[in-house]
């Protein structure tokens, strides 16, 4: 049998199945959702259902020849378009290849389905090449684009698709899922869920990887700087990792938000970094103006990191840390 649909995707699933049963499923859809919600699985389940030869109770049978091909990852009418190895975009050649395949008749005399993800990694030429197919894909053809940056898609693409917006579930739903699937971490699971901004699969990744320890080390370092126990050069002095710096930026942005909330009288246990009360209390003394500039400079650092390839992460990190130290000197 197919996998179950994640609890937070149930309502979208029911809606899609209803549209399919009423034969009004759009032929081109954009699933706009943050990563870590398992949307690709939802899209895959829908594909299997549409391709299945003997669906039962709005579910693929899991046994017919079509389901067997699906499970083997070799269904000839299901096409996955994603960034190829050593490439950074979905190329126009890939899109042309897809269009050519979709113009042929279906191998299994049913649906022809294309999944494009992450769709915002189509470059301009790729997106343009896809426009006509999005408009008139042909009978029983379904194009599903997945992205966590829908605004990065050209307006011409967006206007030709139905946009299915999916957001993260409540903290309660995310926490239930994490505790059920990763039960040995009662102390840290709430921290992970808040770090993941309620994206359940992302929270599980955080718990499984060394991310929590790394975050603990980073915050301990910040604390050492704040009480003058450490000098800024004493750690991270050979730092040269752009992606890690983005993570540090996000952690610091979490602190900014917690600082603001705590100064406004919100209880510690409601904050994202509720386990970091020493740090957050130390930040109580900074002024609104300082906090505002801190926030602004972190966003600027993030913007630079995301938009430029020619940067020196160590310099940006130094700036970030000097800013931090200035609060406590
Ligand atoms: Zn089947």
Domains of the chain: 7-165 (3.40.50.300), 210-326 (1.20.272)
Ligand 1 centre distance from Cα of residue 277 (Å): 53
* pLDDT bucket at 2, cuts 50 / 70 / 90: very low
Ligand 1 centre distance from Cα of residue 301 (Å): 50
42 contacts 2 by C-beta, under 8 angstroms = no
Cα torsion 293, 311, 149, 51: sign: negative
* pLDDT tens digits, one per residue of 27-52: 999 999 999 999 999 999 999 999 99
Does the pLDDT of residue 238 top 70, yes or no? no
Ligand 1 centre distance from Cα of residue 256 (Å): 51
Ligand 1 centre distance from Cα of residue 65 (Å): 7
Ligand 1 centre distance from Cα of residue 2 (Å): 9
Ligand 1 centre distance from Cα of residue 64 (Å): 4
Structure confidence at residue 182 (pLDDT): 81
DSSP state of 165: E
Ligand 1 centre distance from Cα of residue 52 (Å): 4
Q: Which two tokens stand for residue 141?
A: 């053809």
Residues 6+ apart with CB under 8 A from 217: none
162 vs 140: CA distance, rounded Å: 16
Structure confidence at residue 165 (pLDDT): 96
262 vs 294: CA distance, rounded Å: 16
79 vs 36: CA distance, rounded Å: 22
Ligand 1 centre distance from Cα of residue 1 (Å): 9
Spatial CA neighbour of 146 closest among 14, 20, 40:
40
Ligand 1 centre distance from Cα of residue 47 (Å): 11
For the chain, helix, strand, coil in percent to 5 are: 55, 10, 35
Cα torsion 52, 57, 61, 67: sign: positive
Ligand 1 centre distance from Cα of residue 9 (Å): 22
Ligand 1 centre distance from Cα of residue 43 (Å): 16
N- to C-terminal Cα distance for the chain?
A: 62
Ligand 1 centre distance from Cα of residue 140 (Å): 17
Spatial CA neighbour of 5 closest among 42, 53, 44:
42
Percent share of the chain, pLDDT over 70: 96
Which of 14-18, 304-308, 317-321 has the largest mean confidence?
A: 14-18
Ligand 1 centre distance from Cα of residue 81 (Å): 23
User: What is the residue-averaged pLDDT of the chain?
Assistant: 91
Strands (E), the chain: 28-32, 78-81, 112-116, 141-147, 162-165
């Amino acid at each position: 049998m197919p996998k179950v649909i994640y609890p937070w995707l149930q309502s979208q699933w029911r809606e899609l199945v209803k549209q399919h049963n009423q034969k009004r499923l759009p032929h081109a859809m954009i699933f706009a959702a943050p990563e870590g919600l398992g949307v690709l699985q939802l899209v895959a389940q829908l594909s299997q259902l549409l391709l299945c030869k003997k669906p039962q109770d709005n579910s693929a049978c899991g046994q017919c020849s079509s389901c067997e091909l699906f499970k083997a990852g070799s269904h000839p009418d299901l096409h996955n378009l994603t960034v190829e190895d050593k490439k950074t975009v979905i190329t126009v050649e890939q899109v042309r290849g897809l269009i050519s395949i979709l113009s042929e008749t279906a191998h299994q005399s049913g649906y022809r389905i294309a999944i494009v993800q992450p769709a915002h990694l189509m470059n301009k030429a790729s997106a343009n090449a896809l426009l006509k197919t999005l408009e008139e894909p042909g009978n029983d053809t379904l194009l599903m684009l997945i992205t966590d940056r829908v605004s990065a898609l050209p307006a011409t693409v967006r206007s030709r698709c139905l946009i299915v917006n999916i957001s993260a579930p409540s903290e309660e739903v995310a926490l239930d899922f994490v505790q059920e699937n990763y039960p040995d971490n009662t102390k840290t699971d709430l921290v992970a869920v808040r770090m993941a901004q309620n994206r359940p699969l992302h929270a599980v990744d955080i718990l499984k990887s060394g991310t929590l320890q790394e975050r603990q080390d980073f915050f301990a370092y910040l604390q050492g700087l704040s009480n003058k126990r450490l000098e800024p050069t004493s750690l991270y002095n050979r730092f040269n990792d752009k992606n890690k710096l983005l993570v540090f930026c996000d952690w610091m942005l979490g602190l900014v938000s917690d600082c603001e909330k705590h100064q406004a009288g919100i209880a510690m246990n409601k904050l994202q970094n509720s386990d970091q009360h020493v740090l957050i209390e130390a930040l109580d003394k900074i002024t609104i103006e300082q906090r505002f500039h801190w926030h602004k400079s972190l966003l600027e650092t993030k913007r630079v990191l995301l938009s430029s390839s020619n940067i020196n992460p160590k310099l940006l990190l130094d700036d970030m840390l000097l800013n931090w130290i200035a609060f406590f000197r």
